[in-house]
Structures are given as C-alpha cells and as structure tokens.
C-alpha cells in the first residue's frame, strides 16, 4: 500500500512542499496578526477581506496549521536523512 513511500525523492519533494506551506502559513499568521492590531491599515489594504474579526478567527486557526506543517517538514527531512544514512 505504501510502496510509493519507498521512493525517497518523492518523499523529499513532499517534505519540501510542507516547507513552502509552512512559509506561506507563517506569512499568513503575520498578516492576520497585523490584521488584529493594525486593522486600520490591513483592512483597507485587503479590500475588507481581512477585517479585525476575520483576522482574529484565522490567526487562532493558522497557528496550529503552521505547527503541523512545520513538524511534517522537519520530520520528513530528518527521516529521509536517517534513511539515507542507513542505505
């Protein structure tokens, strides 16, 4: 079932994608953080999409997603190093 996991290159690629996802989520965390405290700037800049309330709701959720994506990114990187050392 997990034969594709044997393809190290593919796994590394997935790890890299989680890295990019982490970066995007970190940027979103920062933006929503500014959306809470600097709403007078962020709200008009985002055409009202990131108002204070929306920013606050997203900020609370995105934090957990960042941790999950970062953990996967680091975990996959460590795992592929470990597998590489074994081979």
Count of CB atoms within 10 A of residue 59's CB?
A: 19
How far apart are alpha carbons 16 and 14 in whole angstroms? 5
For other proteins, the binding residues in 8-37 under the rule CB under 8 A are 36-37
- Per CB under 8 A, the list member of 8, 57, 81, 83 interacting with other proteins is 57
Q: Which stretch binds other proteins (CB under 8 A): 4-12, 19-27, 49-57, 67-75?
A: 49-57
Q: Are 37 and 18 in contact (CB under 8 A)?
A: no
Helix (H) or strand (E) holding 5: none
* Minimum gap (Å) between residue 68 Cβ and other proteins: 22
- Binding stretches for other proteins (CB under 8 A): 36-37, 40, 51-54, 56-57
């Amino acid at each position: 079932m997990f034969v594709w996991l044997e393809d190290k290159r593919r796994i590394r690629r997935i790890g890299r994608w989680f890295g990019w996802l982490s970066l995007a989520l970190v940027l979103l965390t920062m933006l929503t953080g500014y959306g809470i405290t600097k709403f007078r700037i962020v709200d008009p800049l985002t055409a009202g999409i990131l108002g204070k309330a929306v920013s606050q709701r997203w900020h609370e959720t995105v934090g957990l997603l960042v941790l999950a994506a970062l953990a996967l990114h680091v975990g996959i990187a460590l795992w592929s190093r470990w597998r590489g050392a074994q081979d």
